[in-house]
Chain A
């Protein structure tokens, strides 16, 4: 029964979405208040009905209702409850329902918390959200119904792919979707503004919190995915420049640009047309990512033919959305009033530089991702674009970016004194350069990359700390005075400082783990010892265990430091029973500064096992940095001026303080 309820709820949600896309739009055109506010009700309704559908699907998974095809294919009665629940979005159909759920949630959020947005604009935003929702609900209903029944009902399901049975993966997709889909709101704001033909500074203010929320979730989602890849795939890599990773990275890059250009739109009433374009591009890239992944067009051109229906449907959604939005932009944007003057050395100049570098970086990733496909399509042969390309093109863009990130927070709006700012930063610059020089001196391998990465990281973290210290007059005023200043500092300023410093933390983690990773790969017999990075790792043996729905060979390693045992590690080689799929579970001893990473390989038949031991210095900083970026975004979001639904202030300061951002 629950399947029918779910299916019916999806149909109702689609109808409500249709109404949501028509009535408020008509209401906004005719300035009809009741029609406009009808959109709010419909948005809430759409959310409620998608929630019912999602609940029904979850119920089918939790109760192992094997009359539902989707449950049969992706669940198993012997699976732990957590993975029964996460199995709901661990498959194509279910993850599209999750996508729609989050999309309708964002639409409803605009209805619930958008009280400070001008009614006409808000009605149009909700209508555009409804239109996107309608497209995706139709996609589910026509091509990917998760509620299809099977007859006869099989005795048990096939189980969820074991590599998805992991806590990290349980929360990766929802977070990633909160990011991807969150950018639908900024997209809707852009389309609504183009339809209205008017963009003012208030538009920038309304868009900022949505962009910030979506960006924060996307950051955390990407970070979580990379962390999972690191500990689950069993060899210590964390980023592979894989098409699917790139698909999530491109919206992040352009979304970051949007986040910054919206600041200029709000504070300086400039870059408005550009911000609108960025909002369109960010969501377009989210959709492109969905298309690439869903159609399988990138994994292999032939996968596309296996299920052309779905691929073509999403391609159609993509073409209509992106094409339509860009056409509307080309038609309407020239009529938008251009921004004011700016000087290159100013806060807005620095933000424009950020935009430029982020957008070009996204272009690099886009080219690298699609190029093999394009070359192949034109019959020019097969080429590969891999990490060496991305490292060669992406990093030269990031280096000036990070240099500018250190300076930008010191620059006031309109016109700044670069020499003066550099003079204030000379201590930080000196430390960063000294660190880089020291690295060149001690390291002979990859020393340029190591020096550059560490120097930039030190520069970024140092500059962020220095800026805050200067602002609260640390050590230049009595501690009480500094504390008072610190607590009076706007939350958005704290958020910016934390997020910028966090980027430095990530850079440090990537650089150090990349350059100074050490490894031991050898066959070990019980009783053997291996030395790695100051640790002695003794192999105590292997035993067979059966846990829940898998069987495993579990290795036992004893880690000692200076002759004293400090830890025991238990890496596993698992065999998940329903599917008989093997997985590798690395065992990791982490301090905040390094990871000891142990992987058990196959037995050699002579009593030994292939064993891989890695020492990854500073690798935890990559994810600590990602979490800090997320927290920075969240802290900024709690700023009174960002709070969604905060009452509009009657008077805004005529010229914002330079420190605000």
Chain B
């Protein structure tokens, strides 16, 4: 019991922090930023799309872990060397794998992730449309059937079938 004390505390920190990992501190250190404001802006945008691999759920832009700092420097180095955003991200991706991308790559593993909700929306819309057409085609029948259902109900009740 006592040995496990750390776990509940960590879990609770997690719940109560609305999910923000505990001990999150500030990320970017003074002096890290590039002189060129435009390049720095791009570096920040890229940083928000890359995961700090040793943290719980933080981007390298949010984390003060040494690894995150190294990755931030790497990104800036690539940008200064003339990489486009896409190239800089690809550079990190090839070295650290899919796990580093906070925007998961679109491939056969993630089709459901990327297109599942949209497909669900589409199917639901089709279903609603179908219901609509059916109900539009059949209002008089519906009215009749409701009436006859009531009659059937009454007949059943007469039969003494108490629920």
- What is the interface of chain A, defined by CB distance below 8 A to chain B? 69, 72-74, 90-93, 95, 148, 150, 158, 161, 163-164, 169, 172-173, 222, 225-226, 228-229, 232-235, 237, 240, 242-248, 293-294, 296, 299-300, 303, 306-307, 341-344, 352, 356-357, 359-361, 363-364, 367-368, 371, 375, 380-389, 392-393, 397, 445, 521-523, 581-582, 584, 599, 601, 610-612
Contacts and interface: CB of A to CB of B under 8 A. Distances in A.
Contacts of B88: none
A91 B8 contact: yes
A393 B135 CA distance: 32
B158 to A, nearest CB: 20
B80 interface: no
A386 B17 contact: no
Interface string B31-61: 1110000000100000011010000111100
Interface string B100-126: 111111000110111011101100110
A343 B136 CA distance: 9
7 contacts: A245-B19, A294-B11, A361-B117, A385-B102, A389-B104, A397-B117, A610-B30
B29 A235 contact: no
Contacts of B100: 384
Contacts of B86: none
B8 A382 contact: no
Contacts of B94: none
- For the complex of A and B, 7 pairs with smallest distance between CB atoms: A386-B102, A242-B19, A225-B18, A244-B19, A388-B103, A245-B19, A92-B8
A356 B125 contact: yes
Nearest to A392: B103
A73 B2 contact: yes
Q: Which residue, of B19, B32, B33, B98, has the highest number of chain A Cβ atoms within 10 A? A: B19
Given A248-B18, A521-B30, 4 more contacts: A92-B12, A240-B20, A360-B124, A388-B102
B13 A163 contact: yes
B156 to A, nearest CB: 14
A95 B57 contact: no
Contacts of A303: 7, 11
Contact of B103 (A150, A300, A389, A601): A389
Nearest to A360: B121
B11 A293 contact: yes
Given A388-B49, A610-B29, A610-B30, A233 B101 contact: no
Contacts of A299: 10-11, 14, 56
Contacts of A581: 23
Nearest to A236: B26
Contacts of B101: 383-384
A92 B11 contact: yes
A220 to B, nearest CB: 13
B124 A382 contact: no
Given A161-B22, A242-B18, A387 B48 contact: yes
Contacts of A363: 116-117, 120
A10 B80 CA distance: 64
Nearest to B108: A380
A158 B57 contact: no
Nearest to A382: B99
Contact of B23 (A163, A237, A300, A359): A163
A74 B1 CA distance: 13
A222 B22 contact: no
B139 interface: yes
